[in-house]
């Protein structure tokens, strides 16, 4: 059903690759106007050209509150209001339990958790006066189980899941819903070093890594296939739409059942 997001305005962070890029395409196809952001200006501008005048790209580093605030302001200035924020930007883990440094910790928490906290803060300031809005945070099944992500990454994602509940309770009285999506193992370059690493490889090498990952994930999921960015994008469309108007403080797991295959002691 096309048009589920007709006349809605959204901001999507981390939209120059993977889940964010596919979500931007889905939102526009469903009728939304979208501010897309990421660090890669070339990819962001190319995506804006592809999607047309319903989109606007702005380069942003979401570890900086000022960049997040500017994205929200741009959406309001260009499109008149803001209906949805998808706090999607992320990156690979840094450090293990025995090797993590202060720099690793600060970087990961600012990127994965700080971006969500400040995204909520600045979306709320423009959504609450209208008593309308949907904030979606990208968490992870690593927030709920061990063995699904790195040490600091998993800690940050658990905090994202809890911040979602805290913010949903506070903002729900103002008509603003806050939910999260916890993806399972989704086929994106994060599994071979992140989008920056993927850009250093030629197409054939990325294809080999992608196909190997697809085979491995299919064997480790009750639904015997890998997860793809479009699976998460579809969930984001639902949470951004009026169809989910009574869903708040919820962390929606989208993983093909993978989370149920692992005990708390699993290391796989």
Q: Which residues are catalytic?
A: 153
Distance (Å, whole) CA 201 – CA 168: 41
Contacts 24+ apart (CB under 8 A), 53-61: 54/28, 55/24, 55/28, 60/13
DSSP 94: -
Q: Are 260 and 182 in contact (CB under 8 A)?
A: no
- Owner of token pair 């008593």: 131
Q: Are 142 and 148 in contact (CB under 8 A)?
A: yes
Distance (Å, whole) CA 2 – CA 234: 12
Of 204, 203, 160, 208, which is closest to residue 181 (Cα–Cα)? 160
- For 203, other C-beta atoms within 10 Å of its C-beta total 7
Question: What's the distance, Cα to Cα, between the start and end of the chain in Å?
Answer: 38
């Amino acid at each position: 059903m096309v048009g589920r997001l007709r006349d809605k305005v959204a901001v999507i962070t981390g939209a120059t690759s993977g889940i964010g890029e596919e979500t931007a395409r889905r939102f526009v196809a469903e009728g939304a106007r979208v501010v897309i952001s990421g660090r890669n200006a070339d990819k962001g501008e190319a995506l804006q050209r592809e999607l047309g005048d319903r989109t606007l790209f702005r380069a942003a580093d979401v570890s900086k509150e000022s960049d997040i605030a500017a994205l929200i302001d741009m959406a309001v200035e260009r499109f008149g209001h803001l209906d949805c924020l998808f706090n999607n930007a992320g990156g690979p883990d840094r450090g293990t339990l025995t090797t993590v440094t202060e720099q690793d910790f600060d970087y990961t928490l600012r990127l994965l958790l700080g971006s969500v906290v400040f995204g909520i803060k600045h979306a709320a300031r423009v959504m609450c006066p209208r008593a309308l809005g949907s904030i979606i945070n990208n968490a992870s099944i690593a927030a709920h189980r061990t063995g699904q992500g790195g040490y600091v990454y998993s800690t940050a994602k658990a905090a994202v899941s809890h911040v979602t509940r805290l913010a949903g309770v506070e903002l729900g009285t103002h008509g603003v819903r806050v939910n999260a999506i916890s993806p399972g193992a989704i086929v994106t370059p994060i599994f071979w070093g992140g989008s920056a690493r993927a850009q250093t490889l030629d197409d054939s090498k990325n294809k080999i890594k992608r196909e190997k990952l697809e085979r491995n994930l299919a064997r480790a999921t009750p639904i015997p296939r890998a997860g793809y960015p479009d699976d998460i994008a579809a969930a984001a469309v639902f949470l951004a739409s009026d169809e989910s108007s009574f869903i708040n403080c919820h962390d929606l797991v989208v993983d093909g059942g993978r989370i149920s295959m692992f005990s708390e002691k699993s290391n796989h």
